[in-house]
Amino acid sequence: MPIADRLAPLQTNVFADMDRAKASAIAAGQAIIDLSLGSSDLPTPPHVLSAIAEALHDPQTHGYALFNSTKDFRVAAAQWYQEKFGIGVDPDTEVLPLIGSQEGTAHLPLAVMNPGDIALLLDPGYPSHVGGVYLAGGSIYPMPILAENNFLPVLADIPDAVVAKATMMVLSYPHNPTTASAPLSFLKQPLPFVSSTTLPWFTIFPTLIYTFRAIRCRLCSRPIPKSQFLLSFSRFPSPTIWAAFGSAMRLATPS
C-alpha cells in the first residue's frame, strides 16, 4: 500500500534499529548493557504504586479525561512548578498535560509551523524533534553542537535568511545524546534573538522551545516571550510506562 509523501523521511528510526540489534544480540546469547532508550530501570516508589492502584478502583477514573477532568492534575503541576522554580503558572491557561514529552515535541510543529517554514534543531538531536517538523511539512536547519563549543550551538552562525523563515528553535538540555548541559548564561542568549523575530522555542527534560509565535514560558524568574518549557514527570518517580507530561504554556498572544 502506498504511503503519504510526508512519511518518506520517517521510514527509519534509531530506536527501532537499536531494538532490533539488541534482540539479535540477546538471541545470540550475548549479555548486554542497554543504553539505547533511556527507559528507567529503577523501581517505582511504593507510594506511587499505591496511589495508582487506588485510582484503578475508583469508577470516576474509568472515563475519558477531557480538559475539566484534568483540573486536579493541572493544579498539582502548577503547584510543583511554583515550588521547584519559584514561578507561578495558571493551571487553566499555562499547564497542558499530554501522554508524554515525545507527543509534545512531535505535535508542537503542527501547531506553529506551516509548509515551507524552517525549524532550527540541534545536530545531533532527539528523533521526535525531527519527525514532528517533517509531519508539519517544514524544513530543518541543523545547528551543529561541537565539543570545541561545549556542545552548544553558535546562534551567530545562523544566516539571516534562515532566521527570517524560521518558526521554531529547539534547545534540549541536558542534551540527548551527548549528555551536555547548557549554563544559564547560554539559555539567556536566545532572548534578544527570539524577541527580534517571530521565532518560538522549547526545552525538554527540561527542554526549552522557542516557537516564534504566541507561546510564552517563564525561566530565570521572569517571563520569556514565545516559549515553552516541557517536562516529563515520569522520569522522576521512575514509572516511564505511565508517562505524565507537564507543559507550562500560554496560548494567548503575550503582552
Q: Using an 8 Å Cβ cutoff, are 106 and 230 in contact?
A: no
pLDDT in tens, 92-139: 988 888 777 777 788 888 888 889 899 999 999 888 888 889 888 999
Within-domain flag for 254? no
pLDDT at position 212 is 38
pLDDT of residue 19 exceeding 60, the answer is yes
Query: Same domain for 126 and 60?
Result: yes
Distances (CA, A) of 229 to 5, 11, 129, 238: 31, 29, 15, 20
Mean pLDDT of 142-164: 91
pLDDT of residue 254 exceeding 60, the answer is no
pLDDT at position 51 is 82
Query: Same domain for 94 and 14?
Result: no
pLDDT at position 216 is 35
Rounded Cα–Cα distance for residues 70 and 57 (Å): 18
pLDDT of residue 244 exceeding 60, the answer is no
Query: Same domain for 52 and 17?
Result: no
Give me the domain span that covers residue 209: 46-248
Rounded Cα–Cα distance for residues 164 and 140 (Å): 13
In Å, how far from its chain's centre is CA 8? 23
Query: Same domain for 156 and 184?
Result: yes
Total number of domains constituting the chain: 2
